[in-house]
Structure 1
Amino acid sequence: MTHATTLPLHMRRDRFDPVPELGALRERPGLTKVRTPMGLEPWLVTRWADVREVLGDPARFSNAFVAPMQQGRSPEEVARMRAGNLLAQDPPEHTRLRRLLTGEFTGRRMRRLEPRVQAIVDEHLDAMEQKGPPADLVADFALPVPSLVICELLGVPYEERREFQERSGRLLDVSLPLPERLAASDELRSYMARLVAGQQADPGEELLGMLIREHGTEVTTDELIGIANLLLIAGHETTSNMLGLGTLALLHHPDQLALVRDDPEAVGPAIEELLRWLSIVHSGTFKIVTEDTEIAGTPIPKGDTVMLSLPAANRDPELLDRPEELDVRRGALGHVAFGHGVHHCLGAPLARMEMRTAFPALFRRFPTLQVASDEEHFRSFNAIFGMESLPVAW
């Protein structure tokens, strides 16, 4: 089977930056249709205010989009695949499911988790130090730290991480043929079904066990599988790529790296700026328009599809001055790296806490950290932008 070799416009980057064509679209009046690798032709929304409008109105812009990888399956199969996946639900179903999970991602819960996250970070830094340079920051630090955190939070055996990481990587790789990505999706669901069955037989103290013990009559088995699948993929794919890509960005801005390393008060704003500037999630979910409407003066008929460019929106001059510059001193809120509205990322407090812990610890442990190769291996064809590897020395 052949791999796709041309990136769709919304995924194109020039190293850290969205390509100039996306900025040009943002400055042009109205909206433009684009073509995706799956043959869809959605309207591409690039301006910050328009992106927030779409994300803030689930009644007009529904998440009930049936992806091409689900087409051709029976309605019952599609319903099972979508069950529990918060990104595929609209209110009130989305509201019901999210309410069951919100308590696990509060600030208070994150503060209780923080010592364990710090210990996980320190353990991986110890291992890097003992092994000595060079190291692959992705394989040795950026990927295993959030993977272990989400495994412990959910109750997933960490020793099985390579299995689910390989499958989630195939699922999110848009260069792969659709049947291969579909097979990865089915394998992940089968893996989660076994895990959920084990927890139903003997609920543990982790999130899955808690859901079964406290809300067993409110959620179906398919919903438990979908919830666990989404949290596991999102919980390690996003934060790990922020840690790898964010480290490279700061190594290219040593004065800003020093702030993150030396000033505890600077870390929070720096995380927000890195989230905005890197915008590792290219687009989020496709939206189905539920009624004839318009965006930016462009009429959009009912039934059409809308896609968002989060990197273009987060570089919009309407959001802040000098949007193309990385400046960790400003830490402006209002970016859409975590989405907006009812689908604002449930795990955002966890991701922020992990980054707030990991970045300063890494730079304090290795104050002479530097990139050890001239080659940069960006993960371009993945639905979540990041680094394939990042050789470093100190």
Structure 2
Amino acid sequence: MSTPELPVARTCPFTQPELHARSSEEEPATRVRLPNGSRAWFVTRYEEVRTVLSDPRFSSDRAKPGFPRLSRGNDKEPVRTMLGMDAEEHRAARGAVLGEFTLRRVKSLRPRIQEIVDGLIDDLLAAGHPADLVTSLALPVPSLLMCEQLGVPYVDHAFFQENTAKLFGRETPPEETAATYARLHRYFDELVTAKEAAPSDDLLGRQITESRAAGTYDHAYLVGLAFLLLAAGHESTANMISVGVLGLLEHPRQLRLITEPGKTPVAVEELLRFFSITDTVPLRVAVADVDLGGVLIKAGEGVLPSLYAANWDRSVFDSPDVLDVERGARHHVAFGFGSHQCLGQNLARAELEIVFETLFRRIPGLKLAADVDEIPIKEKASVYGLHRLPVTW
């Protein structure tokens, strides 16, 4: 049997790719070939995925030999972020900013999120239909909010949206990926330099003030933090909004259920599980020999845990291929697992809850303005989503 290749295209939002389903049924880890010709392990079962994401014998350090790459080039990041750190280094970096994303902090932001969503829906209704929900709602909500939290001028949103889309698109040529990294790095380097001269009352300004007081200030690290939070913070939530709306419009009974009082938070968990848009984002490399469910993974071998396959593991979730907004399965791994679990998950949940509840309450007649198979999908992007979502009402 030939070695399967990654990444695989996700051509249908409602059907799992064959490789994911077959691998999960046959064995906990499958040998795969990556775009640069190297080999790695594709891990698909729920328990083994959680092991890879929490066991210190699997490293997040992208500089270690054997670390897997899902693009054709080297795609080396210009700055290190906490995504590529392990152990104490990661704990210190995460701990420094964790207070900005607590449940209490996010609760205080909910009125502003509601204000942003209402304003965008006002604009959507005023502009008339048909409309593209990606550009009119899904992208602006997280972009505007994250710009405000970081202290990034929103007038620059077209620049970072265009460039992060290229960065997450695995079809982007290696030389363009490198140029995109360079452009974004330059932008955030200049932004942080300006804030160093006059720290503002925002996340980046507070990080400068607090780390200077502690004697731990690191310019390069803060550039990387800004890069990570803005790029990851808006891209993943924007895509989750668009595919979530598509999923609900295609499942009218499920849509009716989430409009009932108090049902939206539970529905959000199911949408996160069902679509698992950041499937193989948390890459790892083994730093010791590990017996993973009966498969020997050797030190120096790359590992790609599939959040999507884990969230569709039939031994954990009944009928996982059925969208059931009353499932209430909050033990999904859509935000990852272990110490690297998504830092901004509380904020993402709040944005999704407010968007879905407000959108369908204010526009109850919302419907697709194109057939599902005509909607352009980000088939091979590292964050799954839609290029456009045409709607009418």
- Shorter-chain TM-score bucket reads over 0.9
Partner of 2:210: 214
Letter in 2 for 1:224: L
Partner of 1:242: 240
Displacement of 1:14 after TM fit?
2.8
CA–CA distance in structure 2, aligned partners of residues 373 and 70 of structure 1: 33
CA–CA distance in structure 1, aligned partners of residues 315 and 370 of structure 2: 37
Displacement of 1:16 after TM fit?
2.8
Residue 161 in structure 1 maps to residue 157 in structure 2: yes
Deviates more, 1:346-355 or 1:373-382: 373-382
Letter in 1 for 2:336: G
Partner of 1:254: 252
Deviates more, 1:291-300 or 1:124-133: 291-300
CA contact (8 A) 2:82 2:93 kept: yes
CA–CA distance in structure 1, aligned partners of residues 369 and 356 of structure 2: 18
CA–CA distance in structure 1, aligned partners of residues 8 and 332 of structure 2: 17
Letter in 2 for 1:174: R
Aligned equivalent of 1:203, options 186, 199, 215: 199
CA–CA distance in structure 2, aligned partners of residues 40 and 274 of structure 1: 33
Deviation string, structure 1 residues 198-253 (Cα, Å, up to 9, x no partner): 11111111100010111223230000000110000111001100100000000011
Partner of 2:390: 391
Displacement of 1:72 after TM fit?
7.7
CA–CA distance in structure 1, aligned partners of residues 9 and 200 of structure 2: 40
Partner of 2:368: 371
Deviates more, 1:122-131 or 1:285-294: 285-294
Residue 343 in structure 1 maps to residue 340 in structure 2: yes
Q: How many residues align?
A: 381
> For structure 1, which runs of at least 5 residues remain unmatched after alignment?
1-5
Aligned positions of 1:1-394 closer than 5 A: 8-57=6-55, 59-66=56-63, 81-83=78-80, 85-216=81-212, 217-261=215-259, 263-374=260-371, 375-394=374-393
Displacement of 1:31 after TM fit?
2.1
CA–CA distance in structure 1, aligned partners of residues 301 and 97 of structure 2: 31
Letter in 2 for 1:42: A
Deviation string, structure 1 residues 285-323 (Cα, Å, up to 9, x no partner): 321101111212111111111011111110001221111
CA contact (8 A) 2:189 2:223 kept: yes
CA contact (8 A) 2:73 2:174 kept: no
Q: 1:7 to 1:191 in 2, by over 3 A?
A: farther
Deviation string, structure 1 residues 47-82 (Cα, Å, up to 9, x no partner): 01100011111x200001236689989xxxx7x834
CA–CA distance in structure 1, aligned partners of residues 86 and 377 of structure 2: 33
What RMSD in Å do the two structures reach over aligned CA positions? Answer: 1.9
SS in 2 for 1:265: coil
CA contact (8 A) 1:271 1:331 kept: no
CA–CA distance in structure 2, aligned partners of residues 72 and 47 of structure 1: 28
Deviates more, 1:144-153 or 1:210-219: 210-219
Deviation string, structure 1 residues 132-158 (Cα, Å, up to 9, x no partner): 111100010001111000000111100
Q: 1:295 to 1:72 in 2, by over 3 A?
A: closer
CA–CA distance in structure 1, aligned partners of residues 11 and 136 of structure 2: 25
CA–CA distance in structure 1, aligned partners of residues 204 and 5 of structure 2: 37
Displacement of 1:276 after TM fit?
0.2
CA contact (8 A) 1:17 1:278 kept: no
CA–CA distance in structure 2, aligned partners of residues 156 and 381 of structure 1: 29
> For structure 2, which runs of at least 5 residues remain unmatched after alignment?
none
Deviates more, 1:276-285 or 1:11-20: 11-20
Letter in 1 for 2:16: P
SS in 2 for 1:264: coil
CA contact (8 A) 2:11 2:377 kept: no
Counting aligned pairs with the same residue, the percent is 41
SS in 2 for 1:382: coil
CA–CA distance in structure 1, aligned partners of residues 130 and 54 of structure 2: 45
CA–CA distance in structure 1, aligned partners of residues 24 and 129 of structure 2: 43
Displacement of 1:33 after TM fit?
1.2
Q: 1:13 to 1:390 in 2, by over 3 A?
A: same
SS in 2 for 1:224: helix
TM-score by length of 1: 0.93
CA–CA distance in structure 2, aligned partners of residues 40 and 18 of structure 1: 25
CA contact (8 A) 1:319 1:335 kept: no
TM-score by length of 2: 0.93
Q: 1:81 to 1:92 in 2, by over 3 A?
A: farther
Q: 1:238 to 1:32 in 2, by over 3 A?
A: same
CA–CA distance in structure 2, aligned partners of residues 197 and 179 of structure 1: 27
CA contact (8 A) 1:172 1:181 kept: no
CA–CA distance in structure 1, aligned partners of residues 250 and 72 of structure 2: 41
Q: 1:212 to 1:82 in 2, by over 3 A?
A: same
SS in 2 for 1:351: helix
